[in-house]
Protein backbone atom coordinates (compact mmCIF):
# COMPACT_ATOMS: atom_id res chain seq x y z
CA UNK A 1 0.00 0.00 0.00
CA UNK A 2 1.41 3.40 -0.98
CA UNK A 3 1.29 6.08 1.66
CA UNK A 4 1.77 9.59 0.28
CA UNK A 5 3.61 12.52 1.78
CA UNK A 6 2.55 16.13 1.33
CA UNK A 7 4.75 16.17 -1.79
CA UNK A 8 2.80 13.23 -3.22
CA UNK A 9 5.71 10.79 -3.16
CA UNK A 10 5.39 7.19 -2.01
CA UNK A 11 6.69 6.35 1.44
CA UNK A 12 7.94 3.10 -0.07
CA UNK A 13 10.44 5.18 -2.06
CA UNK A 14 11.82 6.71 1.13
CA UNK A 15 12.11 3.26 2.68
CA UNK A 16 14.02 1.90 -0.29
CA UNK A 17 16.48 4.77 0.05
CA UNK A 18 16.83 4.21 3.76
CA UNK A 19 15.15 7.51 4.65
CA UNK A 20 12.13 6.30 6.53
CA UNK A 21 10.15 3.40 7.86
CA UNK A 22 6.61 2.66 6.69
CA UNK A 23 4.14 3.88 9.26
CA UNK A 24 0.40 4.20 9.58
CA UNK A 25 0.54 7.05 12.08
CA UNK A 26 -1.51 9.99 10.82
CA UNK A 27 0.55 13.18 10.89
CA UNK A 28 3.84 11.55 11.93
CA UNK A 29 7.01 13.38 10.85
CA UNK A 30 9.61 11.74 8.60
CA UNK A 31 13.13 13.00 7.86
CA UNK A 32 12.63 13.78 4.17
CA UNK A 33 12.93 17.60 3.86
CA UNK A 34 10.56 19.61 1.73
CA UNK A 35 11.48 22.62 -0.38
CA UNK A 36 11.92 24.72 2.78
CA UNK A 37 14.21 22.19 4.40
CA UNK A 38 11.53 21.13 6.89
CA UNK A 39 10.28 17.58 7.46
CA UNK A 40 7.31 16.51 5.40
CA UNK A 41 4.22 15.14 7.08
CA UNK A 42 2.79 11.72 6.29
CA UNK A 43 -0.81 12.04 5.22
CA UNK A 44 -3.03 8.98 4.97
CA UNK A 45 -5.22 9.46 1.94
CA UNK A 46 -8.80 8.34 2.33
CA UNK A 47 -8.31 5.46 -0.12
CA UNK A 48 -5.34 4.30 1.95
CA UNK A 49 -7.49 4.45 5.07
CA UNK A 50 -10.12 2.30 3.41
CA UNK A 51 -7.53 -0.19 2.13
CA UNK A 52 -5.86 -0.45 5.53
CA UNK A 53 -9.17 -0.92 7.32
CA UNK A 54 -9.98 -3.80 4.99
CA UNK A 55 -6.70 -5.45 5.96
CA UNK A 56 -6.40 -4.80 9.70
CA UNK A 57 -9.62 -3.04 10.80
CA UNK A 58 -7.57 -0.42 12.68
CA UNK A 59 -5.22 2.52 12.20
CA UNK A 60 -2.79 4.07 14.70
CA UNK A 61 -3.61 7.67 15.67
CA UNK A 62 -0.99 10.31 16.62
CA UNK A 63 -1.19 9.54 20.35
CA UNK A 64 -0.39 5.87 19.73
CA UNK A 65 -3.95 4.64 20.27
CA UNK A 66 -5.70 2.52 17.69
CA UNK A 67 -8.77 3.70 15.82
CA UNK A 68 -11.08 0.88 14.81
CA UNK A 69 -13.10 0.59 11.63
CA UNK A 70 -16.23 1.72 13.49
CA UNK A 71 -14.59 5.11 14.07
CA UNK A 72 -14.41 5.87 10.35
CA UNK A 73 -17.06 6.86 7.84
CA UNK A 74 -17.57 4.88 4.65
CA UNK A 75 -15.48 7.37 2.65
CA UNK A 76 -12.45 6.87 4.92
CA UNK A 77 -12.74 9.92 7.17
CA UNK A 78 -12.69 9.81 10.94
CA UNK A 79 -16.18 10.42 12.25
CA UNK A 80 -16.77 13.99 13.44
CA UNK A 81 -17.53 12.91 16.99
CA UNK A 82 -15.50 9.81 17.61
CA UNK A 83 -16.27 8.38 21.09
CA UNK A 84 -19.12 10.88 21.36
CA UNK A 85 -20.01 9.90 24.93
CA UNK A 86 -16.56 10.89 26.19
CA UNK A 87 -16.60 14.11 24.20
CA UNK A 88 -20.03 15.04 25.54
CA UNK A 89 -18.88 14.26 29.09
CA UNK A 90 -15.92 16.65 28.71
CA UNK A 91 -17.66 19.40 26.76
CA UNK A 92 -19.24 21.48 29.53
CA UNK A 93 -15.92 21.78 31.36
CA UNK A 94 -14.25 22.72 28.08
CA UNK A 95 -16.82 25.38 27.22
CA UNK A 96 -17.24 27.07 30.60
CA UNK A 97 -20.94 28.03 30.19
CA UNK A 98 -21.08 30.96 32.63
CA UNK A 99 -18.09 32.79 31.16
CA UNK A 100 -19.34 32.07 27.65
CA UNK A 101 -22.80 33.50 28.30
CA UNK A 102 -21.39 36.71 29.80
CA UNK A 103 -20.17 37.60 26.30
CA UNK A 104 -22.48 35.69 23.95
CA UNK A 105 -25.88 36.42 25.52
CA UNK A 106 -25.69 40.26 25.30
CA UNK A 107 -24.70 39.91 21.64
CA UNK A 108 -27.66 37.64 20.88
CA UNK A 109 -30.25 39.71 22.76
CA UNK A 110 -29.11 42.84 20.91
CA UNK A 111 -29.17 40.93 17.63
CA UNK A 112 -32.68 39.56 18.31
CA UNK A 113 -34.53 42.44 20.02
CA UNK A 114 -38.06 41.15 19.29
CA UNK A 115 -38.84 38.23 21.60
CA UNK A 116 -41.98 37.46 19.63
CA UNK A 117 -39.83 36.16 16.74
CA UNK A 118 -38.94 32.50 17.23
CA UNK A 119 -35.35 31.25 17.22
CA UNK A 120 -34.22 27.91 15.80
CA UNK A 121 -30.87 26.83 17.22
CA UNK A 122 -29.82 24.32 14.60
CA UNK A 123 -26.84 22.77 16.43
CA UNK A 124 -27.60 23.39 20.09
CA UNK A 125 -24.98 21.09 21.62
CA UNK A 126 -25.44 21.24 25.39
CA UNK A 127 -28.21 23.81 25.00
CA UNK A 128 -26.28 26.58 26.76
CA UNK A 129 -27.54 29.45 24.61
CA UNK A 130 -30.97 27.89 24.13
CA UNK A 131 -31.56 27.67 27.90
CA UNK A 132 -30.36 31.24 28.47
CA UNK A 133 -32.51 32.66 25.66
CA UNK A 134 -35.58 30.75 26.83
CA UNK A 135 -35.04 32.05 30.36
CA UNK A 136 -34.90 35.56 28.91
CA UNK A 137 -38.32 35.13 27.32
CA UNK A 138 -37.47 34.00 23.78
CA UNK A 139 -39.35 31.27 21.89
CA UNK A 140 -36.57 28.77 21.21
CA UNK A 141 -36.52 25.47 19.32
CA UNK A 142 -33.39 23.56 20.34
CA UNK A 143 -32.10 21.08 17.76
CA UNK A 144 -29.25 18.62 18.30
CA UNK A 145 -28.68 15.51 16.18
CA UNK A 146 -25.97 13.88 18.33
CA UNK A 147 -27.74 11.56 20.77
CA UNK A 148 -25.15 11.98 23.55
CA UNK A 149 -25.29 15.77 23.43
CA UNK A 150 -29.08 15.67 23.07
CA UNK A 151 -29.38 13.71 26.31
CA UNK A 152 -27.14 16.15 28.16
CA UNK A 153 -29.05 19.09 26.69
CA UNK A 154 -32.36 17.71 27.96
CA UNK A 155 -30.77 17.10 31.37
CA UNK A 156 -29.54 20.70 31.39
CA UNK A 157 -33.01 22.04 30.56
CA UNK A 158 -34.47 19.97 33.39
CA UNK A 159 -31.78 21.00 35.89
CA UNK A 160 -32.26 24.70 35.07
CA UNK A 161 -36.03 24.29 35.06
CA UNK A 162 -36.41 25.72 31.56
CA UNK A 163 -37.82 22.65 29.79
CA UNK A 164 -41.29 24.17 30.01
CA UNK A 165 -39.98 27.38 28.42
CA UNK A 166 -38.45 25.67 25.37
CA UNK A 167 -40.81 25.63 22.39
CA UNK A 168 -39.58 22.20 21.29
CA UNK A 169 -36.56 19.91 21.24
CA UNK A 170 -35.65 18.31 17.91
CA UNK A 171 -32.97 15.97 16.57
CA UNK A 172 -32.88 16.84 12.87
CA UNK A 173 -29.50 16.71 11.13
CA UNK A 174 -28.88 20.32 10.19
CA UNK A 175 -27.18 19.18 7.01
CA UNK A 176 -30.67 18.14 5.84
CA UNK A 177 -32.81 21.18 6.61
CA UNK A 178 -33.87 21.62 3.01
CA UNK A 179 -37.40 21.43 1.68
CA UNK A 180 -37.23 17.66 1.19
CA UNK A 181 -37.01 17.05 4.94
CA UNK A 182 -38.72 20.15 6.38
CA UNK A 183 -41.36 21.34 3.88
CA UNK A 184 -42.39 24.93 4.39
CA UNK A 185 -40.22 25.40 7.51
CA UNK A 186 -39.59 29.05 8.40
CA UNK A 187 -38.68 29.44 12.05
CA UNK A 188 -37.81 33.14 12.32
CA UNK A 189 -34.21 33.67 13.35
CA UNK A 190 -31.70 30.80 13.03
CA UNK A 191 -28.48 30.07 14.91
CA UNK A 192 -25.62 27.77 13.90
CA UNK A 193 -23.01 28.56 16.53
CA UNK A 194 -20.06 26.81 18.16
CA UNK A 195 -18.16 26.19 14.91
CA UNK A 196 -20.68 23.49 13.97
CA UNK A 197 -20.50 24.01 10.21
CA UNK A 198 -16.82 23.01 10.26
CA UNK A 199 -17.94 19.40 10.71
CA UNK A 200 -18.34 19.37 6.92
CA UNK A 201 -15.24 19.65 4.72
CA UNK A 202 -16.58 19.30 1.17
CA UNK A 203 -17.10 22.75 -0.28
CA UNK A 204 -20.19 21.75 -2.24
CA UNK A 205 -21.75 20.33 0.94
CA UNK A 206 -20.85 23.49 2.88
CA UNK A 207 -22.70 25.50 0.24
CA UNK A 208 -25.72 23.19 0.59
CA UNK A 209 -25.75 23.68 4.37
CA UNK A 210 -25.70 27.48 3.93
CA UNK A 211 -28.60 27.20 1.49
CA UNK A 212 -30.50 25.01 4.00
CA UNK A 213 -29.96 27.54 6.78
CA UNK A 214 -31.14 30.29 4.43
CA UNK A 215 -34.25 28.22 3.70
CA UNK A 216 -35.30 27.86 7.35
CA UNK A 217 -34.61 31.54 8.13
CA UNK A 218 -37.81 33.55 7.77
CA UNK A 219 -37.83 36.49 5.33
CA UNK A 220 -36.63 39.65 7.05
CA UNK A 221 -35.01 37.66 9.89
CA UNK A 222 -31.41 36.71 10.66
CA UNK A 223 -29.00 33.80 10.66
CA UNK A 224 -26.19 33.95 13.25
CA UNK A 225 -23.36 31.58 12.32
CA UNK A 226 -19.73 31.33 13.36
CA UNK A 227 -16.43 29.57 12.72
CA UNK A 228 -13.09 29.35 14.44
CA UNK A 229 -10.17 31.46 13.22
CA UNK A 230 -8.81 28.55 11.21
CA UNK A 231 -5.84 30.27 9.54
CA UNK A 232 -4.48 31.13 13.00
CA UNK A 233 -5.06 27.59 14.28
CA UNK A 234 -3.33 26.09 11.25
CA UNK A 235 -0.41 28.53 11.56
CA UNK A 236 0.06 27.54 15.20
CA UNK A 237 -0.24 23.84 14.40
CA UNK A 238 2.53 24.09 11.80
CA UNK A 239 4.73 25.83 14.39
CA UNK A 240 4.00 23.06 16.86
CA UNK A 241 4.93 20.34 14.34
CA UNK A 242 8.20 22.15 13.61
CA UNK A 243 9.02 22.41 17.29
CA UNK A 244 8.82 26.20 17.25
CA UNK A 245 7.42 28.32 20.10
CA UNK A 246 3.66 28.50 19.76
CA UNK A 247 1.72 31.47 21.13
CA UNK A 248 -1.30 30.92 23.35
CA UNK A 249 -4.18 29.76 21.16
CA UNK A 250 -7.29 31.33 22.56
CA UNK A 251 -10.65 29.63 22.11
CA UNK A 252 -12.39 32.51 23.85
CA UNK A 253 -15.12 33.66 23.96
CA UNK A 254 -16.74 30.29 23.14
CA UNK A 255 -14.36 27.99 25.04
CA UNK A 256 -13.53 29.27 28.51
CA UNK A 257 -13.16 26.20 30.70
CA UNK A 258 -9.93 25.42 32.54
CA UNK A 259 -10.33 21.73 33.45
CA UNK A 260 -10.38 20.37 29.90
CA UNK A 261 -7.87 21.16 27.17
CA UNK A 262 -8.32 20.67 23.43
CA UNK A 263 -5.51 20.68 20.90
CA UNK A 264 -5.06 19.78 17.22
CA UNK A 265 -3.12 16.53 16.80
CA UNK A 266 -3.31 15.84 13.06
CA UNK A 267 -3.98 17.69 9.82
CA UNK A 268 -4.56 16.45 6.28
CA UNK A 269 -3.75 19.26 3.81
CA UNK A 270 -5.51 17.41 1.01
CA UNK A 271 -8.93 17.38 2.69
CA UNK A 272 -8.17 20.24 5.15
CA UNK A 273 -9.41 17.99 7.95
CA UNK A 274 -7.93 18.67 11.38
CA UNK A 275 -8.29 16.25 14.29
CA UNK A 276 -8.60 17.68 17.81
CA UNK A 277 -8.21 15.76 21.04
CA UNK A 278 -9.87 16.81 24.29
CA UNK A 279 -8.80 15.54 27.70
CA UNK A 280 -8.93 16.61 31.32
CA UNK A 281 -6.06 18.86 32.36
CA UNK A 282 -6.24 17.84 36.02
CA UNK A 283 -5.40 14.16 35.47
CA UNK A 284 -1.93 13.41 36.84
CA UNK A 285 -1.12 10.85 34.15
CA UNK A 286 -2.23 11.92 30.69
CA UNK A 287 -2.59 8.32 29.53
CA UNK A 288 -5.26 7.74 32.22
CA UNK A 289 -7.38 10.60 30.92
CA UNK A 290 -10.35 9.83 28.69
CA UNK A 291 -9.91 11.32 25.24
CA UNK A 292 -12.62 12.79 23.05
CA UNK A 293 -11.93 13.57 19.41
CA UNK A 294 -13.45 15.89 16.84
CA UNK A 295 -12.59 16.03 13.16
CA UNK A 296 -13.25 19.44 11.61
CA UNK A 297 -12.46 21.28 8.42
CA UNK A 298 -9.85 24.03 8.72
CA UNK A 299 -11.60 26.53 6.46
CA UNK A 300 -9.56 28.84 4.31
CA UNK A 301 -9.89 32.54 5.03
CA UNK A 302 -13.31 33.74 3.74
CA UNK A 303 -14.31 30.29 2.45
CA UNK A 304 -17.50 30.30 4.51
CA UNK A 305 -18.03 34.03 4.07
CA UNK A 306 -18.08 33.70 0.26
CA UNK A 307 -20.93 31.18 0.46
CA UNK A 308 -22.88 33.33 2.92
CA UNK A 309 -22.54 36.42 0.72
CA UNK A 310 -23.58 34.56 -2.42
CA UNK A 311 -26.66 32.99 -0.78
CA UNK A 312 -27.86 35.92 1.38
CA UNK A 313 -26.44 38.77 -0.71
CA UNK A 314 -23.18 40.55 0.01
CA UNK A 315 -24.90 43.62 1.46
CA UNK A 316 -26.85 41.43 3.91
CA UNK A 317 -23.86 39.88 5.71
CA UNK A 318 -22.14 41.56 8.67
CA UNK A 319 -18.78 40.31 9.93
CA UNK A 320 -17.62 40.14 13.56
CA UNK A 321 -14.59 38.79 15.39
CA UNK A 322 -15.15 37.63 18.97
CA UNK A 323 -18.46 39.56 18.79
CA UNK A 324 -16.80 42.85 17.79
CA UNK A 325 -17.81 44.39 14.46
CA UNK A 326 -15.12 44.16 11.76
CA UNK A 327 -14.15 46.85 9.22
CA UNK A 328 -16.18 46.67 6.01
CA UNK A 329 -13.20 47.19 3.70
CA UNK A 330 -11.71 43.79 2.84
CA UNK A 331 -8.06 44.83 3.21
CA UNK A 332 -8.75 46.46 6.58
CA UNK A 333 -10.67 43.40 7.76
CA UNK A 334 -7.85 41.03 6.80
CA UNK A 335 -5.29 43.32 8.42
CA UNK A 336 -7.31 43.39 11.63
CA UNK A 337 -7.64 39.60 11.73
CA UNK A 338 -3.90 39.22 11.16
CA UNK A 339 -3.04 41.66 13.94
CA UNK A 340 -5.62 40.78 16.59
CA UNK A 341 -5.87 37.00 15.92
CA UNK A 342 -9.35 36.46 17.41
CA UNK A 343 -10.53 33.03 18.49
CA UNK A 344 -13.83 33.09 16.57
CA UNK A 345 -15.47 34.84 13.63
CA UNK A 346 -19.21 35.51 13.58
CA UNK A 347 -21.45 36.36 10.63
CA UNK A 348 -24.93 37.84 10.87
CA UNK A 349 -26.92 37.28 7.68
CA UNK A 350 -30.28 38.96 7.05
CA UNK A 351 -32.63 37.17 4.65
CA UNK A 352 -34.32 39.71 2.35
CA UNK A 353 -38.02 40.16 3.03
Q: Could you report the per-residue pLDDT of 247-272, keeping only the tens digit for each?
A: 555 567 888 888 888 888 888 888 88
Q: What is the dihedral of CA 114, 116, 117, 118, to 10 degrees?
A: 130
Return d(Cα 217, Cα 350) in angstroms, integer.
9
Across the chain, what does the average pLDDT equal? 78
CA geometry: angle 196, 307, 272, nearest 5 deg: 55
pTM of structure = 0.77
**C-beta neighbour count of 348 within 10 angstroms:** 20
> Domain end: 18, 49, 77, which one?
77
Please report the pLDDT score of residue 114 as a whole number: 96
345 and 234 housed in the same domain: no
Please state the rounded mean pLDDT for residues 129-139. 97
DSSP one-letter string for 11-47: HHHHHHTTS------TT-EEEEE-TTSPEEEEE--HH
Please state the rounded mean pLDDT for residues 9-14. 33
CATH code at 341? 3.40.50.150
pLDDT band with cut points at 50, 70 and 90 for residue 344 = very high
250 and 335 housed in the same domain: no
Residue 23 has pLDDT above 80, yes or no: no
202 and 337 housed in the same domain: yes
Q: At what angle do helices 128-135 and 97-111 cross, to 10 degrees?
A: 60
Closest among 145, 101, 97 to 124, alpha carbons compared: 145
Please report the pLDDT score of residue 259 as a whole number: 86
> Domain end: 262, 282, 297, which one?
297
pLDDT band with cut points at 50, 70 and 90 for residue 127 = very high
Please report the pLDDT score of residue 307 as a whole number: 98
Q: Give me the domain span that covers residue 25.
A: 4-77
Number of domains in the chain: 3
Please state the rounded mean pLDDT for residues 273-301. 81
266 and 128 housed in the same domain: no
306 and 198 housed in the same domain: yes
Please report the pLDDT score of residue 51 as a whole number: 53
Amino acid sequence: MAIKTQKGRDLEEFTARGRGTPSLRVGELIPEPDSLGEPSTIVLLRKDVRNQLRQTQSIVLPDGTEASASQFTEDGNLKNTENSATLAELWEDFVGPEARLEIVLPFLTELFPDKAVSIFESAAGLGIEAAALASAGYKVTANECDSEFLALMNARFTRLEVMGLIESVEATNWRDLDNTSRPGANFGHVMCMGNSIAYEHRDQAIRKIVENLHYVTAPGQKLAIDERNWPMILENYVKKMKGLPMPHQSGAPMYNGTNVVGDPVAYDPKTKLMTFEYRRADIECEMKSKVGRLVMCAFERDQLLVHLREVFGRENVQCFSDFTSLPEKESDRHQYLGDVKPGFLQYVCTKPA
